[in-house]
Amino acid sequence: MIRRNTKIIATISNLNCSQEFIKGLFWAGMNVVRLNTAHMTHDDALQVIKNIRQVAIKIGILLDTKGPEIRTCDNDKPLFVKYGDIIKIKGAPEERSKGDVICVSYEQFVKDVPMGSSILIDDGYIALAVMEKTDEYLICYVENDGVINARKSINIPSVHVKLPALSEKDKGFIRFAADHRLDFIAHSFVRNKNDVIAVQKILDEKKSTIKIIAKIENLDGVQNLNEILDHAYGVMIARGDLAVEIPTEQIPLIQKKIVKTCIEKRRPVIVATQMLHSMIESPRPTRAEVSDVANACLDRVDALMLSGETANGKYPEVAVRTMAKIAKEVEDKKSSYVNVPYSIDNTITAYLAKAAVKASLRLETKGIVADSFSGRSIRALAAYRGDSPIYAQVYNRQVMRQLSLSFGVFADYVQMDVNSIKPLKKAVSRLVEEKCFKDDDLIIVLAGSFGMRHGASYIEISTAQNFKKRQT
């Protein structure tokens, strides 16, 4: 396995989820598995979850909700359209599309979409213009040749539709995730803080500590980023729908701005959509895709995501390994350090975290070892994107898996001990045995003297051998 700071999320379907397959992706460099509930039942998801947990307890599991989206309904057969055709769109979630009538999953679609609007189907593959409107239909002019298939996404740029934050299917899957102690909920089409709060309310009812990743894929999400980050654990930049809602040429700078904001706020940030898209069919990526992945690594994102490349592609393991190699090449050639401002939360830990990372850069240490109960101090270290790996010793298995999404963090579960020095001493010995560093290598320890729940209170710098010899 290539050890790198930038993490990799791979989408896995129940149609291809054997333990051998998951193990291959894991050793190729996968850190987190994504389950796309748009195409799954609870039983489908459970099949994947069981196999993941048989392979490795460190693999994080991210469940992706459908969110407030609109899709085309099922049909008897696809509708082939040509430039200049006239078709009808109807808000009828319980009906099937037939002939030149396309039914969509939002009942109030005709009411909410005004005349003159542009309707984009399947991430913009088909563009329609609304020419007329009746009580039942939108009469639309087809602007390009193509095929309209079932269950494809629908976007209406600059039009605000009044969809609820959560569908009944979403609610069921969030409860399912809580019952099975998954690690992340990636909520789709987050528009504002209320969409995140709606998910958190269900998690609170279930007394779940699952973390919410807000998927930013519309203009509202971009404009309301700061309030969203006040309530979400992290963010996924879902560029597919985002590039349909917002002019494509604006996406690169929006991506960079979101990444910078997330790093400053100590929130994990993921870049997704078509990163190695050609590898669904080809064993090699395009030069543009390699540059796209490398550029995200240069921005210091926490994680990169593969979708169809691993869910239904011909070369899933090769795609993960390729992404890992690109990330490793960037990290080896360019320092990752980001001099972000101190966090206003827990100022002692924030100060010590920055001091530890800056010391690691100046002294060229081989690692930072830190223990944590909640993961907060570990994320504080990760925010500075130092070059030394962060070996987190975590007293909660779920937190260990949640840190699989954080830049430069390699987390292990350790048994809780009243004396905070003992587990760190054992950890250093184990890390030497695992060849993470050598006895005579300089390392940094970030820990606390007043119990694990009180956070960090000191940093200490010495050789691994000296930490191993410590008696107290």
Catalytic residue among 4, 7, 66, 71: 71
Determine the pLDDT at residue 66.
Answer: 85
Paired residues of 410 in beta bridges = 391
Q: Which two tokens stand for residue 68?
A: 């407030």
Side-chain half-sphere exposure of 182, counting CA atoms within 13 A:
29
The most distant pair of C-alpha atoms in the chain lies apart, rounded to whole Å, by 81
Catalytic residue among 11, 273, 322, 349: 273
Torsion of CA 219, 275, 391, 228, to 10 degrees: 10
Query: How big is the chain by its Cα radius of gyration, in Å?
Result: 24
Determine the pLDDT at residue 346.
Answer: 67
Pick the CATH number of 7-68+165-332 from 3.30.200.20, 3.20.20.60, 1.10.15.40, 3.30.70.3270: 3.20.20.60
Q: Kindly give, in sequence order, each residue whose CB lies less than 8 Å from that of residue 50, ignoring residues fewer than 6 positions away.
A: none
| Residue 267 among the catalytic residues | no
Assigned superfamily of 79-155: PK beta-barrel domain-like (2.40.33.10)
Q: Kindly give, in sequence order, each residue whose CB lies less than 8 Å from that of residue 160, ignoring residues fewer than 6 positions away.
A: 112, 220
472/465 Cα distance (integer angstroms): 15
Burial class (CB in 10 A: 0-12, 13-18, 19+), 242: buried
| Residue 34 among the catalytic residues | yes
Determine the pLDDT at residue 457.
Answer: 86
Question: In this structure, what DSSP letter does residue 89 have?
Answer: E
Q: How many residues does the chain have?
A: 472
| Residue 71 among the catalytic residues | yes
Q: How many CB atoms within 10 Å of residue 456?
A: 29
Q: Give residue limits of the domains in the chain.
A: 7-68+165-332, 79-155, 347-469
Q: Does residue 54 contact residue 19 with C-beta atoms inside 8 Å?
A: yes
Determine the pLDDT at residue 415.
Answer: 84
357/365 Cα distance (integer angstroms): 10
421/447 Cα distance (integer angstroms): 8
Catalytic residue among 4, 7, 34, 300: 34
| Residue 239 among the catalytic residues | no
Q: Does residue 119 contact residue 70 with C-beta atoms inside 8 Å?
A: no
Comparing CA positions, the residue from 5, 10, 4 lying closest to residue 272 is: 10
pTM here is 0.91
Look at domain 347-469 and name its CATH class. alpha beta
Catalytic residue among 90, 193, 215, 425: 215
Backbone angles phi, psi at 383, to 5 degrees: -60, -30
Question: Which amino acid type is present at position 395?
Answer: Y
219/245 Cα distance (integer angstroms): 7
Strands 118-121 and 60-64: unpaired
One digit per residue, pLDDT tens: the chain, 472 residues?
678 999 999 999 999 999 999 999 999 999 999 999 988 999 999 999 999 999 999 999 999 998 888 999 999 899 999 999 999 999 999 999 999 999 999 999 999 999 999 999 988 899 999 999 999 999 999 999 999 999 898 999 878 888 888 989 999 999 999 999 999 999 999 999 999 999 999 999 999 999 999 999 989 999 999 999 999 999 999 998 888 888 889 999 999 999 999 999 999 999 999 999 999 999 999 999 999 999 999 999 999 999 999 999 999 999 999 999 999 999 999 988 999 887 766 688 889 999 999 999 999 999 999 999 899 999 999 999 999 999 999 999 999 999 999 999 999 999 876 554 567 888 999 999 999 999 999 999 998 877 666 678 899 999 999 998 875 5
Paired residues of 91 in beta bridges = 104
Determine the pLDDT at residue 110.
Answer: 95
Strands 118-121 and 154-155: antiparallel
Q: Which two tokens stand for residue 245?
A: 């809602």
Question: Which amino acid type is present at position 81?
Answer: V
168/114 Cα distance (integer angstroms): 27
